[in-house]
Structure 1
Amino acid sequence: MRTLVRPTTRASFPLRRLHTSAPRHPRSASSTVPPAKARRGRWRTAAFVALAGGGIYLFDRECNASALTRSLRTGYIGLLCTLDYKINFSPAKADKIDALHERVATRLRWVVDTNQGMYLKLGQAIGLQAALLPKPYREAFTHVFDKAPSVPYAEVVGVFRDDLGVDPMDVFEEFSHDALASASIAQVHKAKLRPELGDPDQLVAVKVQKPAIAKQMDWDLFSYRSLMWLAQKAFDLPLYFVADYVSAQMRLETSFMHEAANARRCAELVSQTPELRDDIYVPKVFGKAEGYPESDRVLVMEWVDGCRLNDKEQIQSWGLDLRDVMDLAISLNGAMTFTWGFLHCDPHPGNVLVRPHPVKKGKPQLVILDHGLYITLRRSFREEYATLWRSLFVLDLPTIDRISKSWGLGIDPNMFASAIFLKPTHVKKNPRRGPPPPPKTEYEIQMEVKAQFKALLESEQLIPRELIFVGRCQRMLQANNQLLGSPSERINITAAWAAKGYAEFAGSRALADIGLKRWLRDRYDSTVFRLTLWVIEWAFWWTSLKARFSKTTGSWEDRLQAQMERMAKEEFGIEIDGNTAFLG
């Protein structure tokens, strides 16, 4: 017989006791600490944190060139600017957007001016594209191409001792204690070699890297990549795709051994180019083989006197033709881009000197300095870029469209052509527009610009990274030509070099090799190409002639810039202001 057993409730007793048990005293254990003792504990914690923070700050400043402090400063400003835009860039605050831009531009300028070093490179990148940015950015970054502060002679001696184990005066008979030139990464001293080490009359330029750069570089590049990532996430724009490529190039720029190799290679390529051989000069780099010191932070080069590329008064005082000067500068860039595939990426006026030609009376010779930043252009990119220039001249729309799509650029053909030439270019007729739309708020205008930019970079993985620096060089040359009064026909000279590159890549175009149809098409394209060059040349001379006899007519580049601004505004809603474009 089965017996029913009542379940016991004793097992639940400890649980009930656990839940119902409570301390006899109403105050918790922590509240039994006397208030004075708790305050002393808090003061001790605060003092420990302050002491630790001060120690980290002092160590970072004295032993780490303030690299951590600079990064924290950058991170704080980056986060502050991002939040400011996220909160205040809205339709409801459209009338305050200019003030927002001014606040952000002021903060960014403060970071660049305070951190110095490689941050000046970032500031120069912003300043170079200032014409495309809102007005406050144009005004904030016009100063970044000025001379950077130099470090004291004692720090130069420290670099020599650390890298070479000698003082400057152990190697040189004379060595200027003050830097004759100073840039973001290095400074230059003038020196004369000791008689036992070489020609005592040989003057040399000794380029010495600022000692803080080596300690700051990794932190600075990390901060740069972090800001690009933050901007991409915050503003939904494809910006980070260039960060790793630019960082790698900037890292190479800090290696003077790499720069010496670039200078020697450039000199060799110049010697192999008949059009430039006599008129472009690369100062000799001296290394250990000649008894000169050489390291990643010390570089010795032949001293060459000359004036900056944009020193119009000095060039004319020597009786040199401004057109000859700019023709050479543009031709050199064309050769590097389309035939050498080895591009000097920092051709600002301080790196391109002009001097009277030592042999050709009344002619200029260009002296090319600072070979730290070069890129090697892939053959496939050079072929496409040369083909693109030729196609733009002969209005070969299918080829233009094919290259644009292969580069991942979703852009109107007219804007694409204008961006390549840096002049208003219509290769395709736009549909007839209706009546002008009603005025838009600043918020609506800038949202349209953002949409245009996103459409441009529709597939950033396909965009050739070389375009970043190729476009930068073209813009620098355009600005220098403009500053000298537009003496050179920049587009035609560049197109002539593009044609040389195209002929090299195209191979044989003989009738027997390509057939009658393609041969006839080649002849037609060549005729159109030459005719277009002639029309542009005629327009250039007519504009130059009018500018000479008229106070109201601007130079060739001035007129192109005004037309570019009008085209960008009317057809694409983009505000461009070239009044404060790159002047360095």
Structure 2
Amino acid sequence: MLRQSIIAASHCPNPSVAGAAILSATRATRCLSRTRPYVRQLEAAFATPSTTIQIQNRIPQRLYSSRSNRPTWPHTTAAPGPSTGSFEPLIPPSPSKLGAPRPARSYTRTRHWSRRLLILSALLGLGYLTDKYIYASGLARSLRTFGVGLVVAADYKLNFRPEPLPIPWIGIPEGIPELHRRNAERLFDLLRHNGGLYLKIGQAIAMQSAVLPPEFQAMFSRMFDDAPQDSWEEVEQVIREDFGGRSVEEVFGISFTGKEGKGVMERTARASASVAQVHWARLPDGREVAIKIQKPEIEKQIGWDLWAFKVVTWVYTWWFDLPLYSLVPFISERLRLETDFENEAKNSEIMRQLVEKEPSLRGRVYVPPVYPELSSKRVLTTEWIEGIRLWDKDAMTRPWLGGYGNGSAGVHGAQLDPPDMAAIRNALRKSTQGYTHMIKPERTEWKGRRGKGGLGLSTKDVMTTMVDLFSAQIFKWGVVHCDPHPGNIFIRRLPSGRAELVLIDHGLYVYMSDKFRHEYGEFWKALMTFDNNKIKEITNEWGIKAADLFASATLLRPYEGGDDGGFQTKLMKHLDGKKTASERSYEMQARMKQGIRDVLADEDKWPKELIFIGRNMRIVQGNNQYLGSPVNRIKMMGTWASRSLFQDPNLPLGRRLVNYWHHFLFKFVLALTDVAFYFFRIRQLLHRGGGMEDELEARMRDVAKEFGVELQHNVFEG
């Protein structure tokens, strides 16, 4: 049959079909050849003639043509005997005899977990990308905050004790200082790494670091370093988004290519802070302006940051049993308003009008005007200020070399001398990559040819103006600038030789109600005259139990006029002299913790404005101390408090006349405080000791040591 197939294929007229047929026949022949050994086994197994004949008839004879020449199949045992019965094929067993069926092995659990891992990985990746590019890493920053906050809380909960735990991996053999150091480092790294609003919180902590352990003071003093600048592309993005898609050139009328009739602007920021950065520009009409541009990530991060702040404060309130969480809504609202530049513009204009209407401050204080047509929610354009910062004490006091009858550039809002615009435009035209370096002239003629000149001002004149300004805000207007640190205050010289104080950065304000402002004035007057009944009456109205402790916190000095000898005597009472120093310190800090609870006793009645008013006064005290305590700050504030009570237009005429008489008596009593002030002042001039602020803080430091707190005052150094 195979041979016939090959012959038929050879006669096929189609060569391709013939080739395929021959190939198939050849393969079949090879397969049959491989079956020969099995055929021999079958012959041996069925060694009967009839069976052999049947098998041979079924297999082509060609396969047996050389059968006699091939060796037989080797057998190690004798072949079975011949079968006497007929051939029966193999029958498979019945299913009933195989037993119950078993299902095939399934890997459903492995497949489910693999699928879950893939879904989880995809969701995590999607969440990371969403958080990074849509929310500016707000979620990641919050999780980082929770982690560090819990570690710090657990560390203090476990290790803040008179004696360290004996367990090596939990205890702190170095003691409490090492506990403070490592947690200060953790918090500092968290605030610097997160940036943005966290930096502003860190700066607020740094301003109050004098009441923190020395380890915190050393770490947080670096919080005032400039923050990194955003790129110019990000600056352009913010301006386009806030001004309806218009470019920087269109909004401010400037040119980076030197076009005639256009203004100029510096791409590099003159200052960069936690929330915004400031660029200098000269408008086409000749005005020099400071353009404050919010960093684009702040708007996306602030919601997450404030939420994290609330959660951490809630945990600390519960864990350490301190009534802090009730303060969170008010603080969060103030921080959110601080990032709203429209709110800052409103505060600035209100303060500008109040200063202009106050005869005692007009001409001594200057608030730069805001240009609303060039401002938005994230862009604030104000007059550019030439001057020196408050912290440059040396430049403030060196001799004036700017000429008799002359003042600093720009005093009273005078237009500044224009830069060489022709040279600037030529440089812009020649530059292929745009003008990237600074354009604004330095205007340092007042330093003289050798650069050794200064403003020739008295520190007493500067601090008198400052204390008058912030006392008027607190006691007379009820509109308080709560961030008067040295970076927000410029000093200029008037043609008369007096100091002009320029106040900028009006984002953080509190507004006092007339009732609260009046009560606060009465409270300060009572502090100066040791009127303990009035002090208790007002503190009870505010929900405060520890009147002596709150009085000391307000005066920033120990208040010893209490009926029971003052808060120091009260808290030192019943301390066991046999205890070790660490045990006494621990017990004192526990009493201090109870004192905080007493100050915040009734959270509903407690005036939340006190948080930021206290911050204002602490910063002003630090400024006075930094300049050598040239003025009696407490007397000046007490005078403003008493004066506000008879100048209050909301009071009836009779009440105002009574307050005026009380004010006259009050000034006579305050004159006695000048004796102490001038004593410390003369001692300071003779290099026999510090000024009055130094003496007050030294007393506070001695008291604080009893609480295990080491006060410092080098907040602005380094």
TM-score band by shorter chain is: 0.7 to 0.9
- Amino acid corresponding to residue 475 of structure 1 in structure 2: R
Note if 1:222 corresponds to 2:307: yes
- Amino acid corresponding to residue 559 of structure 2 in structure 1: T
Note if 1:423 corresponds to 2:545: no
Residues of 2 paired with 1:140 and 1:375: CA distance? 29
Note if 1:192 corresponds to 2:282: yes
1:73-93: CA deviations, max 9, x gaps?
A: 111222222233333344553
Q: Alignment partner of 2:224: what SS? A: coil
1:365-401: CA deviations, max 9, x gaps?
A: 0111111111111111110110111112222211011
Note if 1:532 corresponds to 2:672: no
Note if 1:58 corresponds to 2:129: yes
- The residue aligned with 2:384 is 303
What is the Cα deviation at residue 102 of structure 1? 2.7
Residues of 2 paired with 1:306 and 1:62: CA distance? 40
- Amino acid corresponding to residue 689 of structure 2 in structure 1: T
Q: 1:436 to 1:325 in 2, by over 3 A?
A: farther
8 Å contact kept, 2:136–2:301: yes
Residues of 1 paired with 2:500 and 2:372: CA distance? 25
Q: Alignment partner of 2:484: what SS? A: coil
Q: Alignment partner of 1:278: what SS? A: coil
- Amino acid corresponding to residue 701 of structure 2 in structure 1: E
- The residue aligned with 2:464 is 327
Q: Alignment partner of 2:164: what SS? A: helix
- The residue aligned with 2:158 is 87
- Amino acid corresponding to residue 160 of structure 1 in structure 2: I
Q: Alignment partner of 1:462: what SS? A: coil
Match of 2:635 among 478, 485, 492: 492
8 Å contact kept, 1:476–1:582: no
Q: Alignment partner of 2:358: what SS? A: coil
Residues of 2 paired with 1:42 and 1:349: CA distance? 60
5 Å matches for 1:377-388? 377-388=512-523
- The residue aligned with 2:86 is none
- Amino acid corresponding to residue 529 of structure 2 in structure 1: V
- Amino acid corresponding to residue 319 of structure 1 in structure 2: G
- Amino acid corresponding to residue 260 of structure 1 in structure 2: A
- Amino acid corresponding to residue 577 of structure 1 in structure 2: L
- The residue aligned with 1:395 is 530
Residues of 2 paired with 1:244 and 1:470: CA distance? 17
8 Å contact kept, 1:169–1:175: no
8 Å contact kept, 1:341–1:378: yes
- The residue aligned with 1:542 is 679
Note if 1:105 corresponds to 2:202: no
Residues of 1 paired with 2:304 and 2:550: CA distance? 36
- Amino acid corresponding to residue 293 of structure 2 in structure 1: V
- The residue aligned with 1:437 is 577
8 Å contact kept, 2:491–2:500: yes
5 Å matches for 1:81-480? 81-90=152-161, 93=164, 96-164=175-243, 165-170=245-250, 171=252, 172=254, 173-194=263-284, 199=285, 201-288=286-373, 293-316=374-397, 317-357=454-494, 360-413=495-548, 415-428=549-562, 430=564, 437-438=577-578, 439-441=581-583, 442-480=585-623
Residues of 2 paired with 1:70 and 1:270: CA distance? 41
- The residue aligned with 2:94 is none
Q: Alignment partner of 1:285: what SS? A: coil
What is the Cα deviation at residue 125 of structure 1? 2.4
Residues of 2 paired with 1:186 and 1:140: CA distance? 23
1:34-89: CA deviations, max 9, x gaps?
A: 5xx86676455434423432232122212221111111111122222223333334
Of structures 1 and 2, the larger Rg is shown by 2
- Amino acid corresponding to residue 246 of structure 2 in structure 1: V
Residues of 1 paired with 2:652 and 2:139: CA distance? 58
Residues of 1 paired with 2:318 and 2:562: CA distance? 35
TM-score of the two chains, using structure 2 as the length reference? 0.70
- The residue aligned with 1:74 is 145
Q: Alignment partner of 2:326: what SS? A: helix
What is the Cα deviation at residue 576 of structure 1? 4.1
Q: 1:304 to 1:490 in 2, by over 3 A?
A: same
- Percent pairwise identity: 37
Question: Relative to structure 2, which stretch is displaced further, 491-500 or 155-164?
Answer: 491-500
Q: Alignment partner of 1:142: what SS? A: helix
Residues of 2 paired with 1:567 and 1:494: CA distance? 24
5+ unaligned residues in a row in structure 1: which ranges?
A: 1-23
8 Å contact kept, 1:176–1:189: yes
5+ unaligned residues in a row in structure 2: which ranges?
A: 1-98, 166-172, 255-262, 398-453
What is the Cα deviation at residue 412 of structure 1? 4.6
1:408-455: CA deviations, max 9, x gaps?
A: 112152x33322221233212546878972334254343232222222
Residues of 1 paired with 2:176 and 2:703: CA distance? 24
What is the Cα deviation at residue 174 of structure 1? 1.1
State the number of aligned residues.
534
Residues of 2 paired with 1:445 and 1:567: CA distance? 11
- Amino acid corresponding to residue 278 of structure 1 in structure 2: G
